[in-house]
Amino acid sequence: MNCTLFGSQGSGSAAVEMALRRCGWTYRVVRASTWEADSARAELAAVNPLGQIPTLVLPGGAVLTESAAILIHLGLAEPESGLLPRLVGPRAQAIRGLVFIAANCYAAISVGDYPERWTAATSKLARQKVRQAARAQLHRNWAIFADTFSARPWFCGVRRPGALEFLAVVVSRWWGTRAFLARARPALHETLLRIESHASVAPVLQAHWPDA
């Protein structure tokens, strides 16, 4: 399949790239983001009015948005890929984990990145307090994730990193989460480092974060 992926370096599109590679789907990346004025923002807005990345356009023109939804779709479309566990119970937990990250961790990052969207206050101090509260909530959410989804050595008993691992290793790179986990949940921190070194993950991370 030849897809179009709207994304940007260092963004959540990295997790979708990992999944597309795992599926063996061909794709082109269109650089687009709300924070890059010279990117294809108008083209992105035409298929996703929210302007969010990643956004994936399938060959027939169907549009997929929301990282968790994209990863779940790919896992269901390519069951042999290992993106989702084959057994019903582990697969249900993997989907739960994907939605947990999207609904709780990604959401808190959005509040911290754009506090003006979540408060009527206009002062820098007030908006900074919103950022601080969002960061604290983000870290609490990751602590809950760590306590809920144990790794053996990957989440949900999969044989190799899949969709949940891909999203976790990307979203946990932001807003001081790794430093927090190293202190508060070292087992999850070690799991994320193990995911990063896997052959299906490392090349994409290197392309998105070359200086990391």
Which tens digit of pLDDT belongs to each residue from 112-156?
Answer: 888 888 888 889 998 999 899 999 999 999 999 999 998 888 998
- DSSP assignment letter at 159: S
Structural domain for 99, as ranges: 88-205
What's the angle, vertex CA 100, arms to CA 212 and CA 75, rounded to 5? 80
The pair of three-digit structure tokens given for residue 50, joined into one six-digit string: 């929210």
Supply the mean pLDDT for the chain. Answer: 93
pLDDT of residue 81: 94
* One domain, residues 97 and 164: yes
Per the structure, how many domains does the chain have? Answer: 2
Give the start-end residues of each E strand in 47-90.
Answer: 55-57, 63-65
pTM of this prediction?
A: 0.94
Distances (CA, A) of 60 to 1, 103, 175, 200: 10, 28, 37, 27
* One domain, residues 178 and 150: yes
| Confidence band, pLDDT 50/70/90 cuts, at residue 1 | low
- Taking alpha carbons only, the member of 51, 45, 182 closest to residue 110 is 51
What is the chain's length? 212
Which tens digit of pLDDT belongs to each residue from 62-87?
Answer: 999 999 999 999 999 999 999 999 99
Residue 211 lies in a domain: no
